[in-house]
Structure 1
Amino acid sequence: MSTSGVSVHRTPAAGPPGPSPAAPRTGTESAPARHPRALEPVTAILIVLLSVLGALIGIVLITSLGVSPNTAVIGALVAMLVGRIPVGALVKMRSLHRQNLVQSAISGSTFAAANSLMTPIAVPFALGRTDLVWPMLGGATIGLAVDSWVLYRVFDSKLLPATNAWPAGIAAAETIKAGDSGGKKAVVLGASAVVGLLGALMKIPTSAAGVAFLGNVWALLMFGIGLLVAQYAPTVLDVNLSAEYVPHGLMIGAGLVALAQAGMLMRNRGGNKQQAVAANADAADDGTPELTVGSTRLRRGLLEGVVLFTAGAVVVAITGGLIGGMSVPGLIGWVLLAGAAALVHQLIVGLAAMHSGWFPAFAVTLIVLIVGLFLDIPTVPLALLVGYTASTGPAFADLGYDFKAGWLLRRDAVPWQPYEMAGRREQYIAQVLGFAVALGVVALAWHAFFTDGKVPPVSKVYVTTITSGLDPHTMTTLLLWAIPGALIQFIGGSSRQLGVLLATGLLVATANAGWMVLGALAVRYGYTRWRRRGVRTAEERIRRDEQSDNDMSLVGAGLIAGSSLNDISKLTKAF
């Protein structure tokens, strides 16, 4: 019990399908009635210092190796170590919730610096228009800000529920909880992390297996199939699917249906008491509503995104010198296309990340580029369109991971909803602080990196595609393959995202990742069946299935954490 009379431990109620809520902690610290604040001196200082580190890691790896690692686990581990220092205010960092704030900030700064800022501004630089780097940085900053704001508004809605996988978030939460409680849980997580690290060092995509232990089975099944088809099509069918733009066509069709499905969720106002309570995020409630964001707030959040992204596109058009260089109808069309593309990009990337832990940001941006070529948009406006679109998505997905971690860590609070919403708000503040640090680091570092030839490889691909033009056959292929993509997405529905995940697997195309996903799904199925042995009642079966999910989640989190550590170790290769 807290001093304010608010109980902070509860027995979690059974929730919708997905990872089971965390059981009440038995560690040394009880969750306070008031959630720790991100701007507390000790927490804020640690956030700033680790955000600088995260931004530098992101910049170095995206410009040298073309990858951006998830540094959330690193942030959690550093916060744990600081909390073990028996010096005054540093002891406060033993709080799981303060550790969650720190890991949210460092992961946010990493993805913001690498994906949302450095990659977009490299597009005009690689095009030879260094005068447009600063305007593009301003536009990318707006895209990043709106990206995170929209996710903050719509996380844990029917479109992006907290009960879905968000795999990296589970990995961060389980790492933090294991560090606090120790015991068998820490041993299992640690052993799994070692396996994940060793596998990654041997070029085995162990994180793919980890994701398969956590996410929606049907979505991951399609993801695994996509990975396998992409791997073996060149040898079995003698065709490179990506070179033929087949996955891109599938993603276009699936993405359009996914947007329509999102629109249907926005229209569902809900009529029961639970929906009414959920629609008011600030309402105190002693129970745990299924969702904290109702359809009304979801609708407003997405509409706010459309307006803000379009306003950001106007700023890019003005500062980028498009006014005067384009006709008025052309300029209006460019602004509307840029605003819509930014929103579509973030939603597709976010949905893929939520289910699979991978986000095909490069591929979806390339789709926008191809559409721009088809519309015959001039070179400079097209480069700014691509850069602005590329600034959205990754931060959206990363914030979803961090909110998932916080959601798991706060599941034992009573009353739950006020504490959850307060914690989510503090996480958002922590990430905004991390974004600000990332912006400062990028503003200071981009010139030295770019003039030294360290330009993100993906930005070079965008520029090469812009300057080389579009093969007329490409658009036909995209439209043709959009049809099956749309059908698969429609059949699977919004909860499974089958079409989006199939296209994601085809686009990611990581060697042997498909076997890891499908193999892990088989192990997960077999373990669940084994845990059901001797079960005679439906209640007992549900309890056994929850135990099985908890065990698989812990192993999966360890595999992802170990793989993340390997990503960080690549920093040495960049020097």
Structure 2
Amino acid sequence: MNPRASTSPSSPPASSSAPEATPARHPRALEPITLIITLVMSVLGALIGIVLITTLGVSPNTAVIGALIAMLIGRIPIGMLTRMRSQHRQNLVQSAISGSTFAAANSLLTPIAVPFALGRTDLVWPMLAGAAIGLAVDSWVLFRVFDSSLLPASNSWPAGVAAAETIKAGDTGGKKAAVLGVGALVGLVGALFKLPTSAAGVGFLGNIWALLMFGIGLTVAEYAPDVLHTDLSAAHVPHGLMIGAGLVALVQALLLMRNRKGGGKGAGREAEEAPGDVTGAVPGNAPGEVRADEPGRTVGSERLRRGLLEGMALFLGGAVVVAVAGGVAGGLSVPALIGWVLLAAVAAIVHQLIVGLAAMHSGWFPAFAVTLIVLIVGLVLHIPTVPLALLVGYTASTGPAFADLGYDFKAGWLLRRDATPWHVFELDGRRQQYLAQLVGFGVALVVVALAWKSFFSDGRVPPVSEVYVTTIKTGLDPGTMQTMLLWAIPGALIQFLGGSSRQMGVLLATGLLVATPHAGWMVLGALVIRQGYTMWRRRGLTDPVARKKSDEQSENDLSLVGAGLVAGSSLNDVGQLTKAL
């Protein structure tokens, strides 16, 4: 079986029902009815996020909830509400609610809880300002580099597939809706029995090599205490592997920025210079025509390079704001202050890239673990307590929103890939999704600013923030850094051998760090079923073209099952709100 690769936009797979007709222009994120629904759903998403992160320590993906509510609103036969029957408007709503959930829980509330748990309530507002900057830069970078060679739209992004398939099934109905519904029911029931069914769903969606390493990591982490009589996480073995794999992944990303081969640069320039009239065609095309040589990616190496460099510069600016507002500038020497600002900016961009790459391939992101690595590095460098707490908070503000926006862009990419002309409509739709997410981020910022004091005063502080503060206060055990550097070597080798397209080292470390019970068996079992189903469909086929077509159909069938499992698990996560309340 080949690693999963989605069909390019110019040749979408056939569906059982006719796709929604492409509108003359993509629906606007700020048109009145969409904006009103987006605002209401964003408030709901932010509240769900902060309640669950402070009580259960989790932040659910609410995209499926947003899509379902938008679909229900569209079925109300009242004036402008019928406009919500559009898949693209539903995509805007689900983008906003999921963005507000992750922004409120992970990117804003968790960072400001660090100085609060440290006893420095005077630093909460400066940290909130820094976290807001980190969140804004995080989303901007993803908007700039999504669908590049580093973060291709054709890669897995499992939660995005689940959202898109939910929207499409609600629109077309029939067999597709039935398969998705059965998958969602299985995912929901399994999750109710504490089984990580989302892990099985991811196994049907992602790159097989990346997921194999992810499943191995999950399984080893689960059984190492009993078989090896070792707690790998307590020994910081996964952290060491992530350091080595992360450094190699960063180098691989830099090399992709330099790559000018294969028309990627042309794709980026063509996409950026396409005219703003979404009813027209890409330059050189007749209306409605897609050139045979039109590149599949919309972002080339030149825009990728600019996007990451812009992100680094903006993260530097944000670090300066945190240093000044948090009083770091007055407590450090000039060389130490410069070093702190540089470390904060580098940690922020490395954190977002590692989290984004892991999320793209596996649907899981090790944000807590990578932030903890930054914390450990800070302890090794003997950074004072307050500057270290602000460094950790600033780093924690990046990553989750980056990954979530990738999921939402993937959902939009799947919903828009039948459009003609494709390039212009895709880029306009992505821009509208970004605007919808900015609305969600703004709502999340307001909700957190209003609610943090009441939550924290009631003792409801995100558990991960308390772990950060405890680690800052207790320091490191002797030999921790030596152990991590030792294990960084195999992590770097695995990442290097797997290459940038598989992210095997990062995913192995992610599995070891996530360490969710039984998730390894779910992932590996899904991969076995995937291989078996593909081989069963191939039986009797000898023609290479026929075999390739059969493999593609197998992937399409199982993608729907996987999307249903992920959607069902997400519904259960959101359902935990009743327990939290």
State whether TM-score is above 0.5: yes
Moved over 6 A (4+): none
Q: Give the structure 1 partner of residue 278 of structure 2.
A: none
Instruction: Deviation per CA, 1:24-77: give whole Å up to 9, x if none.
Output: 663584120210010010000000000000000000000000000000000000
| 1:279–1:295 Cα contact (<8 Å) kept | no
Aligned 8 A contact 1:27 1:180 in 2: no
1:44 is aligned to 2:35 = yes
Q: Secondary structure at the match of 1:317?
A: helix
Q: C-alpha displacement at 1:474, in angstroms? A: 0.3
Tell me which of 407, 420, 423 is aligned to 2:426: 420
1:277 to 263, 267, 272: 267
Paired residue type of 2:84: M
Counterpart of 1:487 in structure 2 is 493
Cα gap change, 1:46 to 1:27, in 2 (>3 Å) = farther
- Give 1:6's aligned residue: none
Question: Does the aligned pair in 2 maintain the 1:188–1:555 contact within 8 Å?
Answer: yes
Preserved contact between residue 167 and residue 214 of structure 1 (Cα < 8 Å): yes
Distance 2:88 2:127 in 1: 35
Amino acid at match of 2:107: S
- The equivalent of 2:161 in structure 1 is 170
Which residue number in structure 2 is paired with residue 9 of structure 1? Answer: none
- 1:65-112 deviation digits (Å, cap 9, x = unpaired): 000000000000000000001111111000000000000000000000
Residue 118 in structure 1 maps to residue 124 in structure 2: no
Any idea what the Cα deviations from partners look like across 1:463-497, whole Å, max 9, x if unmatched? 00000011231000010000000000000000000
> What per-residue deviation string (whole Å, max 9, x for no partner) do you get for residues 416-445 of structure 1?
111100000000000000000000000000
Amino acid aligned to 1:151:
L
Q: CA deviation at 1:17?
A: 4.8
| Matched residue type, 1:398 | D
Matched with 1:108 is: 99
SS of 1:290 mapped into structure 2: coil
Mark the runs of 5 or more structure 2 residues left unpaired by the alignment: 275-281
**Distance in 1 between residues matched to 2:493 and 2:205, nearest whole Å:** 26
Match for residue 201 of structure 1?
A: 192
Q: How does 1:139-538 map to 2 (within 5 A)?
A: 139-270=130-261, 272-273=262-263, 275-282=265-272, 283=274, 284=282, 286-287=290-291, 288-538=294-544
What is the CA deviation profile of residues 150-209 of structure 1, one whole-angstrom value per residue up to 9, with x for unaligned ones?
Answer: 000000000000111000000000000000000000000000000000000001111000
- Contact 1:224-1:518 at 8 Å conserved across structures: yes
Checking the alignment, whether the CA contact within 8 Å between 2:265 and 2:302 is kept in structure 1 is: no
SS of 1:215's partner is coil
Mind listing any 5+ residue stretches in structure 1 that lack a counterpart? 1-14
SS in 2 for 1:281: helix
Q: Contact between 2:203 and 2:562, CA under 8 Å: does it hold in 1?
A: yes
Counterpart of 2:407 in structure 1: which amino acid? Y
CA offset at residue 281 of structure 1?
2.0
The answer to whether the Cα contact below 8 Å between 2:126 and 2:322 also exists between their aligned partners in 1 is yes
Tell me the secondary structure at the aligned position of residue 332 of structure 2: coil
Structure 1 CA distance, aligned partners of 2:452 and 2:417? Answer: 41
Q: Take 2:172 and 2:248, find their aligned partners in 1: how far apart are those partners?
A: 44
Where does residue 7 of structure 2 map in the other structure? 20
User: 1:461 corresponds to which letter in structure 2?
Assistant: V
Question: Is the 1:246–1:481 contact (alpha carbons within 8 Å) kept by the matching residues of 2?
Answer: yes
* 2:119 equivalent to 1:128: yes
- Partner in structure 2 of residue 564 of structure 1: 570
Q: SS state of the match for residue 323, structure 1?
A: helix
**TM-score calculated relative to the size of structure 1:** 0.96
Contact 1:62 1:456 in 2 (8 A): yes
Mapped pair 1:551 → 2:557: yes
CA separation of 1:24/1:544 partners in 2, compared to 1, >3 Å: closer, same or farther? Answer: closer
- Distance, in Å, in 2 between the alignment partners of 1:159 and 1:64 is 35
Paired AA for residue 268 in structure 2: A
Q: Matches of 1:165 and 1:347 in 2, distance apart?
A: 16
Q: What is the CA–CA distance in structure 1 between the aligned matches of 2:464 and 2:508, rounded to whole Å?
A: 22
Judging changes above 3 Å, is the alpha-carbon distance between structure 1 residues 545 and 306 closer, same or farther for their aligned structure 2 residues? same
TM-score, normalised to structure 2, is: 0.95
**Which has the higher mean CA deviation after the structures are superposed, 130-139 or 20-29?**
20-29
Q: Is the 8 A contact 1:111 1:394 kept in 2?
A: yes
Q: Is the 8 A contact 2:320 2:341 kept in 1?
A: yes
Aligned to 1:60: 51
Q: Distance in 2 between matches of 1:351 and 1:23?
A: 26
Distance (whole Å) between structure 2 residues aligned to residue 197 and residue 29 of structure 1: 29
Match of 1:12?
Answer: none
Residue of structure 2 aligned with 1:72, choices 63, 83, 86:
63
- State the distance in 2 between where 1:499 and 1:521 align: 18
Q: Tell me the distance in 1 between the aligned counterparts of 2:138 and 2:207.
A: 25
Amino acid at match of 2:305: R
Q: Distance in 1 between matches of 2:239 and 2:269?
A: 36
For 2:518 and 2:27, how far apart are their aligned partners in 1? 43
Is 1:96 the counterpart of 2:87 in the alignment? Answer: yes
CA distance in 2, matches of 1:540, 1:28: 25
Say what the alpha-carbon RMSD is for the aligned residues.
1.3
Instruction: State the partner residue of 2:279.
Output: none
Identity of aligned residues (%): 75
C-alpha distance 91-500 of structure 1, shift in aligned 2 (>3 A): same
Aligned length: 560
Aligned mates of 1:131, 1:218 — CA distance in 2? 47
Counterpart CA distance in 2 for 1:118 and 1:541 is 50
* Distance of 2:204 and 2:308 partners within structure 1: 31
What is the alpha-carbon distance in structure 2 between the residues aligned to residue 544 and residue 88 of structure 1? 45
Distance 1:340 1:224 in 2: 29
Check whether the contact 1:257–1:486 (CA below 8 A) recurs between aligned residues.
yes
2: CA distance, partners of 1:481 / 1:226: 14
Structure 2 CA distance for aligned equivalents of residues 273 and 215 of structure 1: 25
* Structure 2 residue matching 1:163: 3-state secondary structure: coil
Instruction: Work out the CA distance in 1 between the residues paired with 2:530 and 2:358.
Output: 21
Aligned pair in 2 of structure 1 residues 441, 231: CA closer, same or farther (>3 Å)?
same
Taking a change above 3 Å as real, the CA distance of residues 82 and 24 of structure 1, as seen in their structure-2 partners, is farther
| 1:200-228 C-alpha deviation (Å, 9 max, x unpaired) | 00011110000000000000000000000
CA distance in 1, matches of 2:559, 2:466: 38
